[in-house]
Chain A
Amino acid sequence: MTVSDNLREQFLAVVPNLRAFAMSLTGRPDRADDLVQETLVKAWANFSSFQEGTNLRAWMFTILRNQFYSDMRKNGREVQDVDGTYTARLVSHPEQQGHLDLADFRTALATLPADQREALILIGASGFSYEEAAVISGVAIGTVKSRVSRARARLHEMLEVESAGDFGPDRMASAVHATAAKG
Protein backbone atom coordinates (compact mmCIF):
# COMPACT_ATOMS: atom_id res chain seq x y z
CA MET A 1 0.00 0.00 0.00
CA THR A 2 1.39 3.37 -0.94
CA VAL A 3 1.61 6.30 1.45
CA SER A 4 -1.31 8.06 -0.22
CA ASP A 5 -3.51 4.94 -0.09
CA ASN A 6 -2.77 4.62 3.57
CA LEU A 7 -3.61 8.25 4.17
CA ARG A 8 -6.82 7.86 2.23
CA GLU A 9 -7.89 5.02 4.52
CA GLN A 10 -7.01 6.96 7.64
CA PHE A 11 -8.94 10.01 6.50
CA LEU A 12 -11.90 7.92 5.39
CA ALA A 13 -12.18 6.42 8.86
CA VAL A 14 -12.59 9.89 10.37
CA VAL A 15 -15.22 11.12 7.89
CA PRO A 16 -18.31 9.87 9.81
CA ASN A 17 -17.06 11.64 12.92
CA LEU A 18 -16.32 14.82 11.01
CA ARG A 19 -19.80 14.80 9.52
CA ALA A 20 -21.45 14.33 12.89
CA PHE A 21 -19.40 17.14 14.41
CA ALA A 22 -19.98 19.44 11.43
CA MET A 23 -23.70 18.76 11.63
CA SER A 24 -23.78 19.75 15.26
CA LEU A 25 -21.89 22.96 14.51
CA THR A 26 -23.84 24.07 11.45
CA GLY A 27 -27.22 22.42 12.02
CA ARG A 28 -27.56 22.03 8.25
CA PRO A 29 -26.62 18.93 6.25
CA ASP A 30 -25.50 20.80 3.12
CA ARG A 31 -23.25 23.17 5.01
CA ALA A 32 -21.99 20.36 7.21
CA ASP A 33 -20.79 18.35 4.23
CA ASP A 34 -19.23 21.39 2.56
CA LEU A 35 -17.35 21.93 5.78
CA VAL A 36 -16.17 18.33 5.84
CA GLN A 37 -15.02 18.68 2.25
CA GLU A 38 -13.00 21.80 3.05
CA THR A 39 -11.54 20.04 6.06
CA LEU A 40 -10.41 17.00 4.10
CA VAL A 41 -8.75 19.12 1.43
CA LYS A 42 -7.02 21.26 3.99
CA ALA A 43 -5.92 18.33 6.15
CA TRP A 44 -4.56 16.52 3.13
CA ALA A 45 -2.59 19.57 2.00
CA ASN A 46 -1.21 20.19 5.48
CA PHE A 47 -0.60 16.63 6.50
CA SER A 48 3.12 17.28 6.84
CA SER A 49 2.33 19.41 9.89
CA PHE A 50 0.53 16.54 11.59
CA GLN A 51 2.70 14.92 14.23
CA GLU A 52 2.77 11.15 13.80
CA GLY A 53 1.65 9.36 16.91
CA THR A 54 -0.79 12.06 17.97
CA ASN A 55 -4.52 11.87 17.52
CA LEU A 56 -5.48 12.25 13.86
CA ARG A 57 -9.15 12.60 14.69
CA ALA A 58 -8.46 15.45 17.12
CA TRP A 59 -6.22 17.13 14.57
CA MET A 60 -8.92 16.98 11.89
CA PHE A 61 -11.58 18.18 14.32
CA THR A 62 -9.39 21.20 15.06
CA ILE A 63 -9.16 22.01 11.36
CA LEU A 64 -12.89 21.60 10.89
CA ARG A 65 -13.73 23.73 13.88
CA ASN A 66 -11.42 26.54 12.84
CA GLN A 67 -12.71 26.37 9.28
CA PHE A 68 -16.26 26.67 10.59
CA TYR A 69 -15.53 29.86 12.53
CA SER A 70 -13.46 31.34 9.75
CA ASP A 71 -16.27 30.70 7.22
CA MET A 72 -18.66 32.31 9.66
CA ARG A 73 -16.56 35.41 9.90
CA LYS A 74 -16.02 35.58 6.18
CA ASN A 75 -19.71 35.34 5.46
CA GLY A 76 -20.57 37.76 8.20
CA ARG A 77 -22.94 35.31 9.76
CA GLU A 78 -23.80 35.33 13.39
CA VAL A 79 -21.82 32.62 15.07
CA GLN A 80 -24.14 32.21 17.97
CA ASP A 81 -27.81 31.42 17.87
CA VAL A 82 -30.23 33.94 19.15
CA ASP A 83 -30.91 33.02 22.72
CA GLY A 84 -34.27 31.84 23.77
CA THR A 85 -36.16 31.93 20.48
CA TYR A 86 -36.66 28.21 20.15
CA THR A 87 -36.67 27.73 23.87
CA ALA A 88 -39.82 29.74 24.25
CA ARG A 89 -41.49 27.78 21.50
CA LEU A 90 -40.39 24.48 22.98
CA VAL A 91 -41.65 25.00 26.47
CA SER A 92 -44.98 26.43 25.31
CA HIS A 93 -46.04 23.16 23.73
CA PRO A 94 -48.21 21.45 26.30
CA GLU A 95 -48.57 18.33 24.15
CA GLN A 96 -44.88 17.76 24.55
CA GLN A 97 -45.08 17.40 28.28
CA GLY A 98 -43.57 14.21 29.50
CA HIS A 99 -41.64 13.56 26.35
CA LEU A 100 -39.37 15.40 24.02
CA ASP A 101 -38.39 13.35 21.03
CA LEU A 102 -35.01 13.50 19.32
CA ALA A 103 -36.06 16.17 16.86
CA ASP A 104 -37.03 18.44 19.73
CA PHE A 105 -33.84 17.66 21.53
CA ARG A 106 -31.89 18.55 18.40
CA THR A 107 -33.69 21.88 18.33
CA ALA A 108 -32.88 22.42 21.99
CA LEU A 109 -29.21 21.70 21.26
CA ALA A 110 -29.28 24.21 18.42
CA THR A 111 -30.37 26.98 20.76
CA LEU A 112 -27.24 26.64 22.88
CA PRO A 113 -24.52 29.22 22.32
CA ALA A 114 -22.09 27.78 19.76
CA ASP A 115 -19.18 27.51 22.20
CA GLN A 116 -21.25 25.57 24.71
CA ARG A 117 -22.70 23.26 22.08
CA GLU A 118 -19.26 22.60 20.69
CA ALA A 119 -17.85 21.69 24.11
CA LEU A 120 -20.79 19.49 24.96
CA ILE A 121 -20.57 17.57 21.69
CA LEU A 122 -16.81 17.06 21.92
CA ILE A 123 -17.09 15.70 25.44
CA GLY A 124 -20.51 14.09 25.43
CA ALA A 125 -20.71 12.64 21.94
CA SER A 126 -17.34 12.60 20.16
CA GLY A 127 -15.69 10.98 23.15
CA PHE A 128 -12.78 13.37 23.56
CA SER A 129 -11.15 13.98 26.90
CA TYR A 130 -11.34 17.48 28.40
CA GLU A 131 -7.67 17.89 27.51
CA GLU A 132 -8.28 17.02 23.87
CA ALA A 133 -11.39 19.19 23.67
CA ALA A 134 -9.42 22.11 25.10
CA VAL A 135 -6.81 21.78 22.35
CA ILE A 136 -9.46 21.45 19.65
CA SER A 137 -11.31 24.55 20.84
CA GLY A 138 -8.15 26.51 21.63
CA VAL A 139 -9.16 27.26 25.21
CA ALA A 140 -8.18 26.22 28.71
CA ILE A 141 -9.43 22.94 30.16
CA GLY A 142 -11.38 24.83 32.83
CA THR A 143 -13.19 26.75 30.10
CA VAL A 144 -14.27 23.52 28.45
CA LYS A 145 -15.51 22.20 31.77
CA SER A 146 -17.53 25.30 32.52
CA ARG A 147 -18.99 25.40 29.00
CA VAL A 148 -20.05 21.78 29.28
CA SER A 149 -21.71 22.30 32.62
CA ARG A 150 -23.48 25.45 31.46
CA ALA A 151 -24.65 23.60 28.36
CA ARG A 152 -26.02 20.75 30.45
CA ALA A 153 -27.73 23.14 32.83
CA ARG A 154 -29.37 24.99 29.95
CA LEU A 155 -30.58 21.82 28.33
CA HIS A 156 -31.89 20.72 31.66
CA GLU A 157 -33.83 24.00 31.96
CA MET A 158 -35.26 23.51 28.50
CA LEU A 159 -36.25 19.96 29.30
CA GLU A 160 -37.66 20.95 32.65
CA VAL A 161 -41.16 20.44 31.32
CA GLU A 162 -40.21 16.88 30.75
CA SER A 163 -38.24 16.38 33.89
CA ALA A 164 -40.37 18.25 36.42
CA GLY A 165 -42.60 15.28 37.04
CA ASP A 166 -40.15 12.55 36.25
CA PHE A 167 -37.08 13.66 38.08
CA GLY A 168 -38.26 14.40 41.56
CA PRO A 169 -35.85 13.19 44.22
CA ASP A 170 -37.89 10.05 44.89
CA ARG A 171 -38.98 9.05 41.45
CA MET A 172 -35.69 9.90 39.82
CA ALA A 173 -34.34 6.39 39.64
CA SER A 174 -37.47 4.84 38.20
CA ALA A 175 -37.72 7.56 35.57
CA VAL A 176 -34.17 6.89 34.46
CA HIS A 177 -34.85 3.19 34.29
CA ALA A 178 -37.97 3.78 32.28
CA THR A 179 -35.99 5.91 29.83
CA ALA A 180 -33.28 3.30 29.58
CA ALA A 181 -35.84 0.62 28.89
CA LYS A 182 -37.37 2.67 26.09
CA GLY A 183 -34.05 2.63 24.42
Chain B
Amino acid sequence: MTKRKNPPEGQGNEMDFNAMSDGSRAKEGLADRGVGRLDPRVRTHIGRKIKAVYDEVLQEPVPDRFLNLLDELSKKEREAE
Protein backbone atom coordinates (compact mmCIF):
# COMPACT_ATOMS: atom_id res chain seq x y z
CA MET B 1 0.00 0.00 0.00
CA THR B 2 2.90 2.34 -0.60
CA LYS B 3 1.78 5.60 -2.14
CA ARG B 4 4.12 7.13 -4.63
CA LYS B 5 3.57 10.59 -5.89
CA ASN B 6 6.23 10.28 -8.52
CA PRO B 7 7.11 7.65 -11.06
CA PRO B 8 10.05 5.45 -10.10
CA GLU B 9 13.61 6.50 -10.61
CA GLY B 10 14.96 7.19 -14.04
CA GLN B 11 12.44 9.92 -14.72
CA GLY B 12 15.02 12.63 -14.34
CA ASN B 13 15.64 14.72 -11.34
CA GLU B 14 14.38 18.23 -11.77
CA MET B 15 15.59 19.31 -8.38
CA ASP B 16 19.25 19.69 -7.97
CA PHE B 17 20.16 20.79 -4.49
CA ASN B 18 23.32 18.78 -4.40
CA ALA B 19 25.32 21.92 -3.90
CA MET B 20 23.84 21.94 -0.43
CA SER B 21 24.68 18.37 0.35
CA ASP B 22 26.93 18.14 3.34
CA GLY B 23 28.87 14.98 3.41
CA SER B 24 26.24 12.59 4.69
CA ARG B 25 27.35 10.37 1.84
CA ALA B 26 30.19 9.32 4.07
CA LYS B 27 27.79 7.20 6.07
CA GLU B 28 26.51 5.37 3.03
CA GLY B 29 27.44 1.97 1.92
CA LEU B 30 26.36 0.21 5.07
CA ALA B 31 24.86 -3.05 4.05
CA ASP B 32 21.15 -3.28 4.55
CA ARG B 33 20.80 -5.87 7.26
CA GLY B 34 18.04 -7.67 5.47
CA VAL B 35 15.40 -5.98 7.56
CA GLY B 36 13.25 -4.71 4.75
CA ARG B 37 10.80 -7.55 4.96
CA LEU B 38 8.48 -6.38 7.69
CA ASP B 39 4.95 -7.57 7.42
CA PRO B 40 3.08 -4.87 5.50
CA ARG B 41 0.48 -4.76 8.24
CA VAL B 42 3.13 -3.99 10.84
CA ARG B 43 4.39 -1.29 8.52
CA THR B 44 0.91 0.17 8.28
CA HIS B 45 0.62 0.14 12.04
CA ILE B 46 3.96 1.91 12.51
CA GLY B 47 3.20 4.29 9.66
CA ARG B 48 -0.05 5.36 11.22
CA LYS B 49 1.71 6.26 14.47
CA ILE B 50 4.47 8.20 12.73
CA LYS B 51 1.86 10.20 10.89
CA ALA B 52 -0.04 10.86 14.11
CA VAL B 53 3.08 12.20 15.86
CA TYR B 54 3.91 14.39 12.87
CA ASP B 55 0.37 15.63 12.36
CA GLU B 56 0.16 16.84 15.94
CA VAL B 57 2.64 19.58 15.06
CA LEU B 58 1.39 20.01 11.50
CA GLN B 59 -2.07 20.92 12.70
CA GLU B 60 -0.97 23.57 15.15
CA PRO B 61 -1.73 27.12 14.03
CA VAL B 62 1.27 29.03 12.70
CA PRO B 63 2.82 30.92 15.64
CA ASP B 64 2.80 34.71 15.45
CA ARG B 65 6.58 34.89 15.31
CA PHE B 66 6.51 33.44 11.80
CA LEU B 67 3.68 35.66 10.60
CA ASN B 68 5.62 38.66 11.90
CA LEU B 69 8.86 37.45 10.38
CA LEU B 70 7.32 36.98 6.95
CA ASP B 71 5.63 40.38 7.18
CA GLU B 72 8.95 41.94 8.00
CA LEU B 73 10.76 40.16 5.17
CA SER B 74 8.20 41.15 2.57
CA LYS B 75 8.13 44.71 3.86
CA LYS B 76 11.89 44.99 3.48
CA GLU B 77 11.64 43.51 0.02
CA ARG B 78 9.00 46.04 -1.05
CA GLU B 79 11.10 48.90 0.23
CA ALA B 80 14.09 47.62 -1.69
CA GLU B 81 12.13 47.30 -4.92
Q: What residues of chain A have their CB less than 8 Å away from a CB belonging to chain B? A: 2-5, 7-8, 11-12, 15-17, 19-20, 23-24, 32-33, 36-37, 40-41, 44, 51, 53-55, 58-59, 62-63, 66, 69-70, 102, 105-106, 109, 115, 120-121, 124-132, 135-141, 143, 145-146, 149-150, 152-153, 155-156, 159, 163, 167, 172-173, 176, 179-180
Contact = CB atoms under 8 A, between A and B. Distances in A.
A149 B45 CA distance: 14
Interface SS of chain A: helix, strand, loop or mixed?
helix
24 contacts: A2-B81, A33-B63, A51-B15, A53-B14, A54-B14, A63-B20, A66-B20, A66-B21, A120-B50, A128-B5, A129-B4, A138-B22, A139-B28, A141-B9, A143-B28, A149-B32, A149-B36, A152-B42, A152-B46, A159-B46, A167-B41, A167-B45, A176-B45, A180-B48
B21 A138 contact: yes
A55 B15 CA distance: 8
Tell which of B22, B50, B62, B71 has the most Cβ of chain A within 10 Å. B50
A18 B52 CA distance: 16
Interface SS of chain B: helix, strand, loop or mixed?
helix
Nearest to A128: B5
Given A20-B58, A106-B53, A59 B38 contact: no
A156 B38 contact: yes
A142 to B, nearest CB: 8
Given A4-B77, A62-B17, A12 B48 contact: no
A8 B74 contact: yes
B74 A102 contact: no
Given A2-B78, A62-B17, A124-B47, A138 B58 contact: no
